[in-house]
Amino acid sequence: MRFDLIIKEKALEAINNLYGVKIDVNLLQVQNTRKEFNGDYTIVTFPLLKYSKKTPEQTAEDLGRFLIEHIEEVIDFNIIKGFLNLDLGQNYWISEFKKAFADIHFGIKSPDASSKNVMVEYSSPNTNKPLHLGHIRNNLIGFSIAKILAATGKKVVKTNIVNDRGIHICKSMLAWQKWGNNETPESSGLKGDFLVGKYYVKFDQEYKKEIEQLTKQGQSQEEAEKNAPLILEAREMLKKWEDNDKKTIELWEKMNSWVYAGFDITYEKLGVDFDKIYYESDTYKLGKSLVLNALKENKLELKEDGSVWANLENEGLDKKLLLRADGTSVYMTQDLGTAYIRYKDFKFDEHIYVVGNEQDYHFKVLKIILTKLGFNWAKHIYHLSYGMVELPEGKMKSREGTVVDADELIEEMNSTARNISEELGKLDDLTEEQIKSTINTIALGALKYFLLKVDPKKNMTFNPRESIDFNGNTGPFIQYTYARIQSVKSKAEENNISFDKFSDDLVLDKKEVQLIKTIKQFPLIIAESAKELNPALLANYIYELVKEYNQFYHDFSILKEENAELMKFRLQLSDLTGSVIKNSMDLLGIGVPERM
């Protein structure tokens, strides 16, 4: 049982015994004692004064004396105004350290028969363009959340929905038909998703020219956007696709195959994967059937033009289009089908959609419509709404070709990592093969950590060079600390220094105890990160742990320590710190090099 919960339990008992009242456990605030004060856990007494009828100091004195008598581990206490600081003593922390060191799965739980099934959807690319910086944040958040949830013992399914149909892909297809001259990835030397993305940008360029021409002829902007010949052709192509026109389907399959090959390369570079991939071209059909069945049951509305709508006015929203007048479906239709088939396939207890905050309304509506259609499991859907990521120079726009492609960014990160590492001498004495592997690990670590250390809900600006700093709250700083620990262990092994056991009679410095306390927070941080669906909590915990270790490393000798028992303890402390760093970074999808 967590020790803060033990303290809460005994403090409730104390208040009942001392003041004759039973209070709500939520009134008790038990927290880690701040580093500048003596103690391990702190009870805030101010919410208790109306029951004790005493001053904060007197109330704290009463509680402190009771807890010393009733909790064996509490050996002392001190009072700072209304804050009761409890001291558990070094023996307690040495004992806790030994337990953690002996547990090869420290902090990580495995699923069992009672584990909940959780589905995490991330990536969700369109097949009209390559993955870009925004997709990177999405993939990293989703992949990390899946790993963190699995570390709490849940059965996790990582899934992806590929948006492989719709007006967006028709735009690329039409532009390639008109201006592509049968260009292929092989003939152009372009990665498949880059080639298709090139024609998506081309469509937008030509479409804007047509809109400008129509507005000059007297049409309004809105009319011009609807009546431009290119958009009318694209809509006609979409209709042909849904009618299973042979030539349209063949072109769609060819261009999508180029994109899939490109996506696979990018996913491999990023180090993310999926357990199950769904395709909109399959799920939209199921979505249409769900909509038509609900229409027969009078759960939806049919307009005079043949379009089908969901009336959400009773829920404080508007009406939502589900099928257009020409019978073609919209994104919502596809998402209805996808959610339905996923529940049928996996009977999930929770379904987490990792999608940008511009889709907040969409997922609110999705949940309401699924409920309206009679699916009770819809209440287990959750939208992990994350903020946008921009570059220092501003927002990216796919249609205008101003995005930062994922592959290009990864290459830039590798180049920057190599330059900075060479400047700092981090690659000395490594072979070229080791350098290449280490640089890639540093580059991806810098990219991933920089994106994940920010709360997903917040918008952020990504600065590539700032992310590859070997000091401060960065991936390379954490990776370098891990490599430093491995170097210490290697030197110990070279000198035949064994550190399997040490004496219980050690007297530790306050900083050594603080490092143990920080390590002991690891399981709690994982649980909190999973509960909040927030990898940033774990990322920033690693940084705090690394800062604590580096302070310890700076202040205390390890291999040159004359007290053999103390040396063994410090080697074990370093070893466990390294394990927690490695396991924490792994939950973020980040590797750590053995040498740097």
Q: According to the model, what pLDDT value does residue 514 have?
A: 94
Mean pLDDT for the stretch of residues 477-500? 93
CA distance 450 to 464: 9
CA distance 21 to 27: 13
From residue 471, how far is each of 288, 342, 487 by CA, in Å?
54, 44, 19
At 299-354, the pLDDT tens digits run 999 999 999 999 999 999 999 999 999 888 888 999 999 999 999 999 999 999 99
423, two tokens = 């400047």
Q: What is the pTM of this model?
A: 0.91
CA distance 83 to 61: 10
Helices 510-520 & 564-587, crossing angle to 10 degrees? 30
Q: Which fold has domain 3-88?
A: Gyrase A; domain 2 (3.30.1360)
Residue 403 pLDDT exceeds 80: no
At 544-576, the pLDDT tens digits run 999 999 999 999 999 999 999 999 999 999 999
Helices 280-296 & 331-346, crossing angle to 10 degrees? 100
Closest C-alpha to 43, from 19, 64, 17, 65: 64
**Long-range contacts for 263-269 (Cβ within 8 Å, ≥24 apart)?**
263/125, 263/131, 263/193, 265/191, 265/407, 266/130, 266/131, 266/193, 266/406, 266/407, 267/123, 267/139, 269/406, 269/407, 269/410
Domain 122-390 in CATH: superfamily?
A: HUPs (3.40.50.620)
Torsion sign, CA atoms 586, 590, 591, 595:
negative
Rounded-to-10 torsion of CA 162, 166, 167, 173: 70
At 198-239, the pLDDT tens digits run 999 999 999 999 999 999 999 999 999 999 999 999 999 998
pLDDT band at 401 (very low <50, low <70, confident <90, very high): very low
Give me the DSSP letters along 494-505: HTT---S---TT
Residue 399 pLDDT exceeds 70: no
pLDDT band at 499 (very low <50, low <70, confident <90, very high): confident
Q: According to the model, what pLDDT value does residue 234 have?
A: 96
pLDDT band at 398 (very low <50, low <70, confident <90, very high): very low
From residue 287, how far is each of 238, 291, 330, 345, 347 by CA, in Å?
17, 6, 10, 15, 18
523, two tokens = 């399981």
* Residues above pLDDT 70, as percent of the chain: 98
DSSP letter at 214 equals H
List every span in the chain annotated with CATH 3.30.1360.70: 3-88
Q: According to the model, what pLDDT value does residue 501 have?
A: 84
Q: According to the model, what pLDDT value does residue 125 have?
A: 95
List every span in the chain annotated with CATH 1.10.730.10: 406-587
- Position of tokens 């899939």? 260
Closest C-alpha to 481, from 471, 491, 493: 471
pLDDT band at 402 (very low <50, low <70, confident <90, very high): low
pLDDT band at 428 (very low <50, low <70, confident <90, very high): confident
Question: What percent of the residues of the chain are helix, what percent strand, and what percent coil, each to the nearest 5?
Answer: 60, 10, 30
* Residues above pLDDT 90, as percent of the chain: 84
Q: Helix (H, G, I), strand (E, B), or coil: what is residue 140? A: helix
Give me the DSSP letters along 506-575: ----HHHHHHHHHHHTHHHHHHHHHHHT-HHHHHHHHHHHHHHHHHHHHHS-STT-SSHHHHHHHHHHHH
Contact between 108 and 583 under an 8 Å Cβ cutoff? The reply is: yes
Q: Helix (H, G, I), strand (E, B), or coil: what is residue 303? A: coil
Q: According to the model, what pLDDT value does residue 400 have?
A: 47
From residue 306, how far is each of 207, 302, 464 by CA, in Å?
28, 6, 51
Close Cβ partners of 46 (under 8 Å, ≥ 6 residues apart): 56, 82
pLDDT band at 390 (very low <50, low <70, confident <90, very high): confident
DSSP letter at 34 equals P
Mean of pLDDT over the chain: 93
DSSP letter at 47 equals G
**Long-range contacts for 343-348 (Cβ within 8 Å, ≥24 apart)?**
343/375, 343/377, 345/276, 346/117, 346/119, 346/157, 347/117, 348/117, 348/118, 348/119, 348/157, 348/377, 348/380
CA distance 46 to 57: 10
At 176-208, the pLDDT tens digits run 999 999 999 999 999 999 999 999 999 999 999
List every span in the chain annotated with CATH 3.40.50.620: 122-390
pLDDT band at 396 (very low <50, low <70, confident <90, very high): very low
Neighbours of 141 (CB within 10 A): 24
Q: Helix (H, G, I), strand (E, B), or coil: what is residue 2? A: coil
User: Cβ-count burial of 393 within 10 angstroms (0-12 exposed, 13-18 middle, 19+ buried)?
Assistant: exposed
CA 381, 384, 387 angle in degrees (round to 5)?
155
Helices 56-70 & 3-19, crossing angle to 10 degrees? 110
Q: According to the model, what pLDDT value does residue 464 have?
A: 80
Closest C-alpha to 450, from 391, 519, 526: 391
Beta strands 308-311 and 319-323 are antiparallel
Closest C-alpha to 147, from 380, 352, 441, 444: 352
Q: Choose which CATH entry (3.30.70.20, 3.30.70.580, 3.20.20.70, 1.10.730.10) describes domain 406-587.
A: 1.10.730.10
Which residues share a beta bridge with 43? 30, 84
CA distance 305 to 308: 9
CA distance 454 to 129: 26
- Position of tokens 């709404």? 385
